[in-house]
Amino acid sequence: MAEGESMNDTDPEIEARVREMMMRRSGEERFIMGALMFDAAREIVIASLPKDLPEDEFKRLLFERIYGCSMREVIEGADISDEEFGGNG
């Protein structure tokens, strides 16, 4: 599989049925489901980290595992004008 490609072994008919069932739920229900899934994934990541990490290292590793990059990469890749931070641009 080439980089950037994702595997999908779900039958298109099943995929359509699952999507249809999800879309029958309200936006609030879908949001809550997503939040609960994120919380569960976060707990799995936390369980995989060493227990004796200093707080700043724990937060750094948690961020990197969840988002797949460092905070520095996020900041350097951000398209944010100085104006948004109170600067003169």
Sequential DSSP letters for 10-70: S-HHHHHHHHHHHHTS-HHHHHHHHHHHHHHHHHHHHHHS-TT--HHHHHHHHHHHHHSS-
**Does the pLDDT at position 86 exceed 80?**
no
Per-residue pLDDT band for 3 (boundaries 50, 70, 90) equals confident
Q: Where are the domains of the chain?
A: 12-48, 50-89
Model confidence over 10-21: pLDDT tens digits? 999 999 999 999
Q: How do residues 31-52 score in pLDDT, each as one tens digit?
A: 999 999 999 999 999 999 999 9
